[in-house]
Structures are given as structure tokens and as C-alpha cells.
A and B are shown apart, each in its own frame.
Chain A
């Protein structure tokens, strides 16, 4: 069953094209990882998918409705975890949840029960009556997520929900996402942290410069670029290896030297590790060997020629 779909959606800001002919289908029960660097158009895509931002061209369909996709009826089925922490600092954790539950029409005992459940789900039951001003960054993030869960949405959109938090809170959130999936919630999860996508996503959509440049399961995407192997050698003196000797080995595409490290890129399955090692050992000492398996970062790099994150953004 298709929960949401976009066909040929274009969004422009003046002459800048923020979304360029986006075609997208989200099916029930999926966790879709929306991956892309800052400015790729992830938040704009969420904005247009949810009706927060008008678009210039194309169609959006939510829960089978294309005429009035952003009706209140449909909004009741969607939960949005915003990138910014959008909780009320003057209200306790419990009151924050009561506020949102009330807006979604929950009343009386049902509301109380739901608030209790959600607090339990995000691990804030002990903090229910405390103001968020006393919370750590991770706790605020969890409350931010909780606010989107009080009405048990069938489609949850999480826009960079783990920005700037500690690893423990991150793991807690990722585990929570998996539990939601097990309950049948469809999740659209945007981030520029590859590890998170690899840990939870059933399907990955890679965006860059307003376009969807690739989509598929993480394994499929990695498979598409696994046509080369990378082996790194740490040696005592790389100068002593005669120039061009490694390049001559069958299957070797490129040899890169940086300090004491020599990286050899070969065709996939060329089986030339033994030959490389013997040439290096003949001229100098080997301190270490490392083979690298490609990940989604490499997929992005192969597709765009750029890194997904700046070095400074990495944790």
C-alpha cells in the first residue's frame, strides 16, 4: 500500500531549483532513509510532501488522496519530528505531550494513557513533571520525538532527529525507530549520518542538489559500486619501492601514496593481494595491511564525486 507519492515535483526559490522533478513512492511499513549533504533538498522535500511549502509543479498524493492531500484528516495520520527542538520550555514534559495529544483530539483517560505510554517509550517517565529547561540535549531530543507520537501516527517523518546529541541518546532513538517499525509505522528518516541509515533503513534514497540520484536497499546500493577493491599498506619506507612496480600488477587501477601509506585500488576479484605484498616486502618493511569495504559514503562519493559530510562535521 502506498502511503505517499510525489510525481514530477519541482520547487524553485527564484532561479534556484530546490527540488528538481522528484518522483517518489513511500510504501506502508518501510523505513526510508533520506540521505544527502546539507542543502541537498531533504527538508524542502519534507516541506512539500507535508504541504508546509507550496511547490511549483507536479503532484503529491497522501493516503490515496491527490485532490486534498493536506487535509486535517490526513494530518492526523502523520507525525513530524522537526529538525529543531520544538517543545515548549515553559511546560513540563507531560504537559507538552498533553498539549499535542489534545490538538489531535485525544481526551480524558485515553489521553492520560497515551501520554504515559509515549513517556515510557522515550524513557522519560521519571522526568514527566519536570520542565525541559532542566533536560540534557538528548532528553530534549527524545521529548521532541515524543511530541510527534502522542496520536500514534501511521506515517512518521523524522527530520535529522539526532543532530548534536551523545551516542547513548542516539542509540536510544535508533532503537525506538526500529520498535516503531515493528509496530507497523512507516518512517521517513532524513539524516546525513550514514551509520544511522545503515542501521535502520529498509530503503535508501540519496539526494543531491535537489534531485534523487539513486534509491534502493543499502545492500543493493553498495553492490552497484563494488567493482573495485581497496587495499592500504603501511610501510617503513615507501620511497624504496620502484616507481611503477605496483601499477604493473594485473588488475591494479591506481596507486596512491600518502606519507607511509600506500593505497592500491584494483578491479573487484582480481586476487592480486599476494603479488602486491611480495613486491612491497622485497623492498621495504610492512607495518600493517587494511582492506576497505565500501559503504554508503562511497556510494555517494562515486555518484557525485563529493563527500557526504565535511570533515569537520564528522563525529
Chain B
């Protein structure tokens, strides 16, 4: 398993991409601190801090964009600039692609956990079920990588894949009704609840904190099923793309 020797360097490369760190860590930290300042100490009727909902949303929202690094790296290494050199290496490129994906997920989850730690220990927000939340962050991170890769494999032009991934991220945030309420229509109701990874994970976290375990698992399992199905789609389109480009 020589691919394992590359993991350290892939993670190092991700950590040294300061723009990604700024966008996926610093920005949410600043935003959540700002929200904390604005909503200072206010609590809902049930005694839950008002900050809780934006904190959960922010931690999960930024997971929607976590796949961008994986998409960029796999594209440049297996399809464009580094392709020739990588093809000459005595390693399985499929395994190498999976290692990049795994690193991307670990990196994205790590950023999510840093955000949770920051909100708990600096802003005083209590996350009741750490492991459960991390599980959902992980699912969101995997889903994000898978979706971004599906886009990258399925379309010819990389810029189009980038635009589609932006639509995926911003689209689901809009559909979740975080910017303004969506129209009262069956489609929007579905996309604002069980058809939206962001709301599914939010529901799962919320229900678990209310000790509604079955509802929480139900939402999480839908997310898991969607991830598995899209993973299979990714394998098919990825293989087709790889064969098409190998001419």
C-alpha cells in the first residue's frame, strides 16, 4: 500500500491552502462570533440559546463546500497538469484518488470539529451529542466530496463543474430557507426538509438533542442512503470519464 505514503503529503497540501482555510474555517469562526455578539445571551422559550441554530447551520453549511479541494486535486492530478506523471507511478490511481477523497473528508470534518470546539469553549455553546454531530458532519463531508466528483466526472469543462458545485452549495442553503422563506409548495416543502442534506443533518442533530432518537436516525439514514447511491453514481461516471480521457 504505497498510496499510504502519499496521505501525509496530501494533508499537508490541503493545510497549506490558505484560501481554503480562510473560507472554510476563519470565515465561519468570524461569522459565528459575530452572531454570538449580536444574539448575546438571548434564549428561546425552551431555554435554548438563539445562537444554537445559526451555529448548527453554519457548521453544516460549510460542509457543503468541503468537496471543492477534493475536486480540484483529483482534477489536476488525474486529468490535467499532473496526469502524465501520476500515470507513470507504480501505484493504483483509483486508490490514490480514494486517498485524496479520504484526506478531503478528514480535513473537512476536522474544520467542522474545530468550529464546534470554538463555539463550545470560546462562545459557551453546549453541543449535547458530540459524536452524533461529528457523524453527521462526516456524512455531509463525504456527500459533498461525492457530489463534487460526480459533477467533475460528468461534465467536460471543469469550470462548469465548479459552477454546478456552487449551485449545489448555495442552492441547498437557499432551499433550506436560511436566507428567506421558501414558497408554500410541495416541491419547496420537500427540498426544505427531507430532500435537502442540510436540513436532514440539521433535523438529525436537533431531534437527537430533543432525545427523539428514531427521528434523528431516520433523517441521518436518508442522508447515508443518498451518499451511498451517489457514491455508486460517482464510481460509474468516474470510470467512464477515466476511460474516455485515456485516448
Contacts and interface: CB of A to CB of B under 8 A. Distances in A.
- Do chains A and B make direct contact within the complex (CB under 8 angstroms)? yes
Interface of A: 13, 47, 50-54, 72-73, 75-76, 78, 80, 82, 84, 86, 88, 90-91, 95, 98-100, 102-105, 107, 147-148, 159
A54 B246 contact: yes
A103 B247 contact: no
Given A53-B246, A90-B17, A82 B9 contact: no
Tell me which of A47, A52, A103 has the highest count of chain B C-beta atoms within 10 A of its own C-beta. A103
30 contacts: A13-B247, A50-B88, A52-B87, A52-B246, A72-B91, A75-B89, A78-B88, A80-B85, A82-B84, A82-B85, A84-B81, A84-B84, A86-B81, A88-B9, A90-B12, A90-B13, A90-B17, A91-B9, A91-B12, A91-B13, A95-B9, A99-B5, A99-B9, A100-B89, A102-B6, A103-B2, A103-B6, A103-B91, A147-B85, A159-B84
Interface of B: 2-3, 5-6, 9, 12-13, 16-17, 81-82, 84-85, 87-91, 246-247
Contacts, number: 69
Contacts of B84: 47, 52, 80, 82, 84, 86, 159
A75 B90 contact: yes
A72 B92 CA distance: 9
Classify the interface of chain B: helix, strand, loop or mixed.
Answer: loop
A104 B84 CA distance: 16
What 6 A-B pairs have minimum CB-CB distances, sorted nearest first? Answer: A102-B5, A72-B90, A90-B13, A75-B90, A90-B16, A80-B88
A130 to B, nearest CB: 13
Contacts of A51: 87
A95 B17 CA distance: 16
Contacts of A98: 9
Classify the interface of chain A: helix, strand, loop or mixed.
Answer: loop
Nearest to A148: B85
A52 B90 contact: no
B90 A104 contact: yes
A263 B91 CA distance: 58
Contacts of B5: 99, 102-103, 107
A307 B16 CA distance: 46
A103 B89 contact: yes
Given A80-B88, A86-B81, 6 more contacts: A52-B84, A82-B84, A86-B82, A91-B9, A91-B12, A103-B90
Contacts of B246: 52-54
Contacts of B81: 84, 86
A86 B87 CA distance: 12
B2 A105 contact: yes
A54 B246 CA distance: 7
Tell me which of B3, B5, B246 has the highest count of chain A C-beta atoms within 10 A of its own C-beta. B5
B85 A86 contact: yes
Nearest to A74: B90
B216 to A, nearest CB: 39
A53 B247 CA distance: 6
A82 B6 CA distance: 20
Contacts of A53: 246-247
Contacts of B87: 50-52
A52 B84 CA distance: 7
A245 B173 CA distance: 88
Contacts of A75: 88-90
A54 B87 CA distance: 12
A52 B88 CA distance: 7
A86 B6 CA distance: 16
B69 to A, nearest CB: 11
Contacts of B91: 72, 103
Contacts of B13: 88, 90-91
